[in-house]
Homo-oligomer: A and B are copies of this chain.
Amino acid sequence: MDIDASNKTAVEKMMSARPMLKGVAVARDVIPGMKNNLFLHAGPPIEWKRMSGPLRGAIIGAAIFEGLAKDEKSATAMVERGEIEFAPCHEHNTVGPMAGVTSPSMKVYVVENVTHGNKAYSNLNEGYGKVLRYGAYSEDVLKRLRWMNDVLGVVLTDALAQSDGIDMRTLIAEAMHMGDEGHNRNKAGSILFLKLLAPSIVKVAKTDVASEVLKFIGDNALSVLNPVMATCKAMTDAAHGVDGSTLVTAMARNGTDFGIRVSGLVGKWFTAPAEIPKGLWFPGYSDADANPDIGDSAITETAGIGGFAMAAAPAIVTFIGGTPKDAMNATLEMYEITTAEHTTFTIPSLGFRGTPTGIDIRKVVELGITPLINTGVAHKNAGVGQIGAGLVRPPMKIFEAALEAYAEKYLS
């Protein structure tokens, strides 16, 4: 088994993938395997009884949004009667930030990797504050979700239908020269996204609606996060299933467990309890309020951006803590555990060196260096929301377990 050759194949697939944002559609109509009582969630598989507060909160909110339940009590009862099924987003070509709950009626971005033909999906971003993805489900959260589905989603569908799609790889590369790392800092990417969509939005929407939509997208510095995540998912899925490869193709957290998938070990998750991120807390909160790490957004680091590209985004430290030097060091450390330097995503301050791309579980275990992930932090109770942002690493034991499984499959 020539492991290096397999990894080269895998990482080249990841980097040659060219995901185009093609449209916005109803999850039920486009996500493979989606059905009326299936709710997708972030991270590896998990049962209701082991779910953390924010994930439960998001599920309750989605059940009310879908019209399946009228309140927390009836939603919980439905779940306990087994009337709602759960599956990881990742097992349905989908990714969602934080709780990542994606229910059948929600609008989702449709991203197509035109190099290899695979598709990926992600829901629409709600902005900051009390939002479903952090487990909040009050009436204003649900009202915003309805507006996003009925107004924003319709406008985006019609505006994207006017175009040949948005080349998301190019957008990310450009944003990375404008101080974004693509996970926790998407300020530049979000207004590049606005710039590309605005001339069409005006054409497909009435004046007041167009104005409202332009303001919503422009004011939300995370607008582009979800299509960026779907882009990274389309890239990493292209690298999944390469025989003999030790590359990580997913890192994802459900708020209870951290899970990874490995290219050469199709069908398996390697999991362990998720940790509490370290970072800056919003006023009035501390790590005692924090939920363990949650969300599919670590797909960005899996694809070579996010925490791995922090050297491109020194201003991010105002949000997650530390110094610009720490941001630089984070990127430099990640070169140790990766296979390639990205051919499209480059970092000006490192002389346009490509970002560290393609995590090799062998290097992680051998060097004792786990991947560094930028992340938002949710309150541990359902219904509260975001309380901070910071950095987190996956537990080392999942890489060890993956390497053991690899040895068993390929080397025994």
Contact = CB atoms under 8 A, between A and B. Distances in A.
Contact of A315 (B177, B194, B214): B177
Contact of A191 (B191, B211, B212): B191
A348 interface: yes
A196 B195 CA distance: 11
A216 to B, nearest CB: 9
Interface in A159-195: 177-180, 187-188, 191-192, 194-195
A214 B191 contact: no
A324 interface: yes
A191 B195 contact: yes
Contact of A178 (B187, B207, B219, B317): B187
A74 interface: no
A40 to B, nearest CB: 31
Interface stretch (A44-52, A78-86, A198-206, A297-305): A198-206
Interface residues of A, number: 36
A314 B211 contact: no
A207 B215 contact: no
A212 B200 CA distance: 10
Contacts of A314: 348-349
A323 B351 CA distance: 7
Contact of A198 (B198, B315, B323): B198
A395 interface: no
Nearest to A192: B191
A401 to B, nearest CB: 38
Interface string A307-333: 000000011010000011100000000
A210 interface: yes
A127 interface: no
A218 interface: yes
A202 B195 contact: no
A219 B198 CA distance: 11
Contact of A348 (B180, B194, B212, B324): B324
A372 to B, nearest CB: 18
A203 B214 contact: no
Nearest to A311: B349
Contact of A194 (B194, B202, B219): B194
Interface in A313-372: 314-315, 317, 323-325, 348-352
Contacts of A349: 314, 324, 349
A210 to B, nearest CB: 5
Contacts of A191: 188, 191-192, 194-195
Given A191-B191, A194-B194, A218 B199 contact: yes
Contacts of A350: 324
Contacts of A192: 191
B218 A211 contact: no
Contacts of A203: 207-208, 211
A195 B215 CA distance: 8
B214 A348 contact: no
Interface-central residue, A191, A192, A202, by most chain B CB under 10 Å = A202
Contacts of A199: 211-212, 214-215, 218
Contacts of A352: 324
Contacts of A215: 198-199
Given A195-B219, A324-B352, 6 more contacts: A178-B188, A191-B195, A198-B215, A315-B348, A324-B348, A349-B349
13 contacts: A178-B178, A178-B188, A179-B188, A188-B191, A194-B194, A194-B195, A198-B214, A198-B215, A198-B218, A199-B218, A202-B210, A203-B208, A203-B211
